[in-house]
Structure 1
Amino acid sequence: MKRTLVTLALVLAAPAAFAQSMEITRHGDRGGDLGSPDFFTGTAFVAPVFSPEMGDVSAGEVTFLPGARSAWHTHPAGQMLIVTSGTGWVQERGQEKQVMQAGDVVWCPPDVEHWHGATDTTSVTHYAVQQAVDGSAVNWGTKVTDEEFGG
């Protein structure tokens, strides 16, 4: 009986012995870069929030200055946009462009071609969360033309 209790105590204590501590990455420590001109028009700043540490899920904080936007693109597992400040536009291919504002959450289904960014006069910041499939989280298409953006 005593041996069973000792074994049970060790089994129950084991998770605590191997537990990891929480980690805080401060906003200013995350860094970031200007969005590639191959995939963005105008000034977009992309800061990683977390890399694929959570089962191939990654997230980035993207700030678009007025007139800036992504190219047309799709995501094999879809994408969630969480708008944290400002006002921007999002558009699915073949549909009307829609306004997105701070507090909005936009779901872009898998393989649906879309773009998102600022309006012509306002900036917007959002978190973009997506999952990689076979090592890829995004498939880039053509750049959004000025006519498509302003139309």
Structure 2
Amino acid sequence: MERIELENISDFALGDENIAFAPYFIGKSYISLLNDNEIRIHNVTFEPGCRNNWHIHHGSGQILICVGGHGWYQETGKEARLLKSGDVVYIAPEIKHWHGAVKNEAFSHLALSVPIGSSSNEWCEAVTHEEYGKL
């Protein structure tokens, strides 16, 4: 997908290709830091079919605010939830989950987190093509 198309997914800055976290994603994503005063806010944009690995936020949860396109969110042991612009997802600490774009459309969300002392992310296994293909 062309960069200019991705820039039109939401009104927030697309940012740079998400190289630092690329090992934890299937497909290409982009990240833009919008705020790092007290609450970290990133705009994360996923190309069609892109998703992150299963992961866990230790010590601090996360809030996703969907701002463009359509995506998926799934917690371990639960059905995947289709996301659209305006949806809000609260992810409690210690919940294993993943999120990303639907197969044929880019997706963008704001990711809000409050850094607390030793909070961290634990990256787990990839969402397989078989799991993703069933959605």
**CA-CA distance at 1:140 after TM superposition:** 1.4
Unaligned regions of 5+ residues in structure 1, if any? 1-26
Q: Contact conserved, 1:130 with 1:137, CA < 8 A, in 2? A: no
Residue number in structure 1 paired with 2:30: 45
Mapped to 1, the partners of 2:85 and 2:100 lie a distance apart of 13
Measured against aligned partners, the alpha-carbon deviations of 1:71-120 in whole angstroms (never above 9, x if no partner) come to: 11111211100000111001001111110100100111111000000011
Instruction: Provide TM-score, normalisation by structure 2.
Output: 0.81
Mapped to 2, the partners of 1:126 and 1:119 lie a distance apart of 13
The equivalent position to 2:43 in structure 1, one of 61, 72, 84, is 61
**CA-CA distance at 1:31 after TM superposition:** 4.1
The equivalent position to 1:74 in structure 2, one of 36, 56, 69, is 56
Residue number in structure 2 paired with 1:32: 16
**CA-CA distance at 1:48 after TM superposition:** 1.1
Identity %: 35
Residue number in structure 2 paired with 1:138: 121
**Alignment size in residue pairs:** 121
The structure with the larger Rg is: 1
Q: Contact conserved, 1:75 with 1:130, CA < 8 A, in 2? A: no
Question: Could you say if the C-alpha distance between residues 31 and 88 of structure 1 is closer, same or farther in structure 2, counting changes exceeding 3 Å?
Answer: closer
Greater share of helix: 1
Looking at both structures, which has the greater relative contact order when contacts are Cα pairs under 8 Å and sequence separation is at least 6? 2
Unaligned regions of 5+ residues in structure 2, if any? 1-11
Residue number in structure 2 paired with 1:18: none
CA-atom RMSD in angstroms = 1.8
Q: Moved runs in structure 1, 4+ residues, more than 4 A?
A: none
Q: Give the stretch that moved more between structures: 139-148 or 113-122.
A: 139-148
**CA-CA distance at 1:138 after TM superposition:** 2.0
